[in-house]
Structure 1
Amino acid sequence: MDQDRRQFYRIDHPVVLDYKIVSEADVASSSKPYQFNVSPYFLLQSQLSGIDAECQHLVYKIAESTPHLATYLQHLNKKIDLIGRTLADSQLEVDSTHMQIINLSEGGLSFTAEEALELGTLLAIKLVFPENSLGLLLYAEVQRCEPKEQNFDIGIAFHKMPESCRTLLARLIIEAQARERQAQLHG
């Protein structure tokens, strides 16, 4: 985790977080946790963002030769994003009792838990970013567990994270950095 702390930029971010302890067999059988009962729209925004990232270079290529077509495609993409966000907003379950500020990077996160977790424990993680209508299901491994007042500060490293999720987290972190800079400039 200390190496990740140096390798990735970290932000404090509000999320709804839930986790379940899982076995190595669970992790080996799937790259995405299936331990949570989520609506079909839960991962919609993350899937749309993944497709977006895959197609971004194509839009740039099209813009070089046909700028009007590229602009049209960008507008279609905005429509799809709006539809996706509306569907996700209506179905994302935001349980405010699980809302907390986490310290997030592309490689992992730290959060507060009521119970201690042994180092090396594998977790299925459910993250909801309410401001983005974004839901993620990831596997992680406990790297740190330290007592903190009446709770525990848990540090986890993401495990078997699909590249699309890493790209999505990187974008989310960059957007949060930009908002922080804007707030500092106008604050």
Structure 2
Amino acid sequence: MEQDRRQFYRIDKWVALEFQLLETDTQPQDYPLPGTFKVSPHFMLHAELQHLNLAIEQHLSSVDDASDKLLQLFQLLNQKTDVIANSLTASDEPGFNIRADLVNLSEGGLSLSYPISLAIGEKASIRLFMPESETGLRLMTEVKRCESQEGGGYDIGLEFLRMPEACRMELARLILRSQIDQHKAQPIESTDD
């Protein structure tokens, strides 16, 4: 993986992903097939609403002088929004443990924070969701690095295995778009002589 770090441009990016370790006795022919899949435009709605719900709950818990009726009204409005979001995303069953994560991503692999230690060589199935292009990638990975992090958890380095060309191209587009966005976001330096 160290060689891959030099061969591919890497970006830090927030992505939605699913991560599932494979049983150690899983044979390569039994791995889920890598490839691309369609992502609903409503996919991120549920995750965004969960973040908003946490913020609302924090604000409501800090309001001491509000009437009980006002608090109940806010809770009902919050539930109403949840019902609408759930109906929009009901057919978008994402699968196993979806989460938003800041990852370091390249065409060769990715690194992410993980709560438990993983053994070098363990295999995992990953699904990366890219709602901006309404595309997702299903990829097989192998653990190449597992280092303890300050404050808990582990920094896990994963290498992509048997990546189809369509996935590599979509990943390259995502990385290029992210590079362009990062470049646009940088302030322009003044060149006064």
TM-based fold match above 0.5: yes
Which letter maps to 1:90?
A: H
1:88-127 correspondence to structure 2 within 5 Å:
88-90=40-42, 95=47, 98-127=99-128
Give unpaired runs (5+ residues) of structure 2: 49-97
Whether the 8 Å contact between 2:34 and 2:164 is mirrored in structure 1 is: no
Q: Deviations over 1:108-167 (max 9, x none)?
A: 000000111100000011212344333211100000000112110000000111111001
For the residues of structure 2 that align with 1:13 and 1:3, how far apart are their CA atoms? Answer: 21
For the residues of structure 2 that align with 1:122 and 1:93, how far apart are their CA atoms? Answer: 30
Give unpaired runs (5+ residues) of structure 1: 35-41, 46-87
**SS of the counterpart of 1:6?**
helix
For residue 173 of structure 1, the aligned residue among 162, 172, 175 is 175
Which letter maps to 1:18?
A: E
Which letter maps to 2:122?
A: T
For the residues of structure 1 that align with 2:156 and 2:128, how far apart are their CA atoms? Answer: 15
Of stretches 16-25 and 101-110 in structure 1, the one that deviates more from structure 2 is 16-25
1:38-187 correspondence to structure 2 within 5 Å:
43-44=37-38, 88-90=40-42, 95=47, 98-148=99-149, 149-185=151-187
For the residues of structure 1 that align with 2:111 and 2:143, how far apart are their CA atoms? Answer: 9
For the residues of structure 2 that align with 1:25 and 1:13, how far apart are their CA atoms? Answer: 30
Distance 1:112 1:168, change over 3 A: same
For the residues of structure 2 that align with 1:134 and 1:101, how far apart are their CA atoms? Answer: 18
For the residues of structure 1 that align with 2:143 and 2:46, how far apart are their CA atoms? Answer: 24
Distance 1:177 1:93, change over 3 A: same
CA RMSD of aligned residues (A): 2.6
Whether the 8 Å contact between 2:129 and 2:135 is mirrored in structure 1 is: yes
- Corresponding residue number in structure 2 for 1:8: 8
Q: Give the Å deviation of 1:29.
A: 3.2
For the residues of structure 2 that align with 1:30 and 1:161, how far apart are their CA atoms? Answer: 12
Runs of 4+ aligned residues of structure 1 deviating over 6 Å after TM superposition are none
Structure number having the greater helix percentage: 1
Q: Give the Å deviation of 1:3.
A: 0.5
Which letter maps to 1:158?
A: F
For the residues of structure 2 that align with 1:130 and 1:28, how far apart are their CA atoms? Answer: 30
Distance 1:27 1:125, change over 3 A: farther
Distance 1:102 1:91, change over 3 A: closer
- Corresponding residue number in structure 1 for 2:67: none
**In the comparison of the two structures, how many residue pairs are matched?**
138
Of all paired residues, the percent bearing the same amino acid is 38
Larger Rg: 2
